[in-house]
Amino acid sequence: MFKRFSLFTSIMMTFILLFGCSNPETTKDTKEGKQTEQSASKEKVEITTSAAASLQDALTKIEKKYEKEHTNVDLKFNFGSSGALKQQIEQGAPVDLFFSAAEDKFNELVQKGEIDKKQGVDLVGNELVLVVPKDTKKPIKDFTDLSTKADKIALGTPDTVPAGDYAKQTLEKLNIWNDISKKIIYAKDVRQVLSYVETGNVDAGIVYKTDALISDKVKIVATADEKTHDPIIYPVGIIKDTKHPKEAKAFYQYLQGKEALNVLKEYGFVKK
């Protein structure tokens, strides 16, 4: 009887010890598995948009609104001249969307298969303006004054900066390009043009209206007639090689919605 009881007790003790050793690990593994799954589900998806420099302020505000409503997305922006951004995309830069300040740069990527035409839209427009330092003593009131009343004029490089290209078109249309070409200081994008004017390093500059409106150090003295340059259109589209098509499409569609368009309008852009 005693032997049977001892044998039974030994078996039970062995079982308890085995169960006690294995169960915490199993529970731990289960918990760790759940934690891993939860961490993966909470991991943010990074969406990168290459956008024209003139969109910087509007998109920064849109970014805050969008991320507040879409906590799983981390928006990143690469701002610069549309031409330079186009070249980066052609060279394989990891980009999800392209928001250009010029149709031609955008269409070149469509033609090369970098952007699906069905995933692109002409979103907003802009105006071209002549700005001078707010405290300038130069009597510059119009584009035609540049040939006689300005010594230094800032423009974006026409080959890569759409605003610079539009400016050149306007000056050629007004027949003053040859008169002022030696006075021009070229800039990498419109924000640099604006900076040159703000600091007084040039007597005048040609930028988008949206850029001029964000500065209290310059004043607009003239607006280019839209007949003097190609239409200023900002197309946006999804890059075909995006690694996050679902999230990229969601942001692309959001940009076309009322909330985003109201922000763009607030910063001077016009709905196309």
Comparing 42 with 141, the larger pLDDT belongs to 141
Q: Is residue 95 part of a domain?
A: yes
Mean pLDDT is highest, among 12-26, 37-51, 177-191, for 177-191
In a domain, 22, yes or no: no
Q: Are residues 105 and 173 in the same domain?
A: no
What domain range is 219 assigned to? 128-228
Per-residue pLDDT at 117:
86
> Can you tell me the distance from the alpha carbon of 202 to that of 182, in angstroms, rounded to the nearest whole number?
13
In a domain, 264, yes or no: yes
pLDDT tier at 249 (50, 70, 90 boundaries)?
A: very high
| Mean predicted confidence (pLDDT) in 82-98 | 97
**Interval 30-50 mean pLDDT:** 64
Residue 4: is its pLDDT beyond 70?
A: no
Whether residue 109 is found in the same domain as residue 241: yes
* pLDDT band, very low/low/confident/very high, at 13 (cuts 50, 70, 90): low
What's the CA gap between 209 and 207, in Å, rounded? 6
Q: Which 3 state secondary structure label does DSSP give 141?
A: coil
Share of the chain above pLDDT 90, in %: 82
CA 6 to chain centre: 78
Instruction: Looking at the structure, tell me whether residues 212 and 134 fall in a common domain.
Output: yes
In a domain, 8, yes or no: no
Name the one residue in this structure whose structure tokens are 């995006």: 242
DSSP secondary structure code for residue 5 in this structure: H
Tell me what the mean pLDDT of segment 78-98 comes to: 97
Lowest mean pLDDT segment, chosen from 12-26, 81-95, 176-190: 12-26
Strands 153-156 and 184-187: parallel
Say whether pLDDT at 213 is over 90: yes
Q: In terms of domains, do 133 and 224 share one?
A: yes
206 shares its domain with 115:
no
pTM score: 0.80
Please check whether residues 214 and 135 belong to one and the same domain.
Answer: yes
Per the domain annotation, does 142 fall within a domain?
A: yes
Flag whether pLDDT at 110 surpasses 60: yes
Residue 267 lies in a domain: yes
Place 72 in a pLDDT band, splitting at 50, 70 and 90: very high
Rounded Cα–Cα distance for residues 167 and 185 (Å): 13
Q: Is the model more confident about 99 or about 118?
A: 99
Query: Number of structural domains, the chain?
Result: 2
Least Cα distance to 241 among 121, 94, 111, 104 occurs for 94
Q: What's the CATH code of the domain at 55?
A: 3.40.190.10
3-state helix, strand, coil in the chain (%, to 5): 50, 25, 25
Q: What is the mean pLDDT of residues 103-118?
A: 95
Phi, psi of 256 (to 5 degrees): -90, -5
In terms of Cα–Cα distance, which of 51, 197, 208, 239 is closest to 125?
208
70 pLDDT exceeds 80?
A: yes
Share of the chain above pLDDT 70, in %: 85
Closest CA to 183 of 160, 199, 206: 206
**Nearest by Cα to 54 from 178, 210, 218:** 210
**Considering only 12-16, 156-160, 173-177, which range has the smallest mean pLDDT?**
12-16
Q: How many CA atoms lie within 13 A of 176 on its CB side?
A: 18
Q: Which of the four pLDDT bands, split at 50, 70 and 90, describes residue 148?
A: very high
Are residues 135 and 118 both part of a single domain?
no
DSSP 43: P
Token pair recorded at residue 126: 């802009």
Tokens read off for 52: 């024209």
Q: Mark whether 76 and 98 lie in a shared domain.
A: yes
Q: Give the pLDDT confidence of 165-207 residue by residue, as tens digits.
A: 999 999 999 999 999 999 999 999 999 999 999 999 999 999 9
Instruction: Give 186-249 as a DSSP string.
Output: EESSHHHHHHHHHTTSSSEEEEEHHHHHT-SSEEEEEE--GGGS---EEEEEEETT-S-HHHHH
Do residue 148 and residue 224 come from a single domain?
A: yes
Together in a domain, 81 and 215:
no
Residue 13 CB contacts under 8 Å (≥ 6 apart), including other chains: none
Give the mean pLDDT of the chain: 89
Are 208 and 128 contacting, i.e. CB atoms less than 8 angstroms apart? yes
Residue 173 lies in a domain: yes
Asked if residue 94 and residue 221 are part of one domain, the reply reads no
Are residue 162 and residue 193 in the same domain, yes or no?
A: yes
Q: Is residue 35 part of a domain?
A: no
